[in-house]
Amino acid sequence: MGTLILARHSTTEASAAGRNLGQRTDPPLAAAGVALAERLGATLRAELDELPHDDLRALSSPALRCRQTAAAVAEGVGVTDAVEVHDGLLEIDYGAWDGLTADECRARDPELRAAWEADPFVTGCPDGESGQDVLRRVAAVLDPLEAWLAADRARCAIVIAHNHVIRVRLCSMFGWPMREYRDRLSQDPAGYSMIGLGSGTPVVRRMNAASA
Q: Are 14 and 25 in contact (CB under 8 A)?
A: yes
Bridge partners, residue 5, by sequence: 158, 194
Q: Is 47 tagged catalytic?
A: no
Q: Are 194 and 5 in contact (CB under 8 A)?
A: yes
Main-chain dihedrals φ then ψ at residue 199, nearest 5 degrees: -80, 135
Q: Is 84 tagged catalytic?
A: no
**For residue 65, what are the contacts with CB-CB under 8 A and spacing of at least 6?**
9, 10, 12, 21, 26, 27, 28, 29, 33
DSSP class of 175: T
Residues 64 and 198: their CA atoms lie apart, in Å, by 32
Bridge partners, residue 160, by sequence: 7, 60
Residues 72 and 192: their CA atoms lie apart, in Å, by 14
Query: Residues 47, 91, 129, 146: which is the catalytic one?
Result: 91
Active site residue ranges? 9, 91
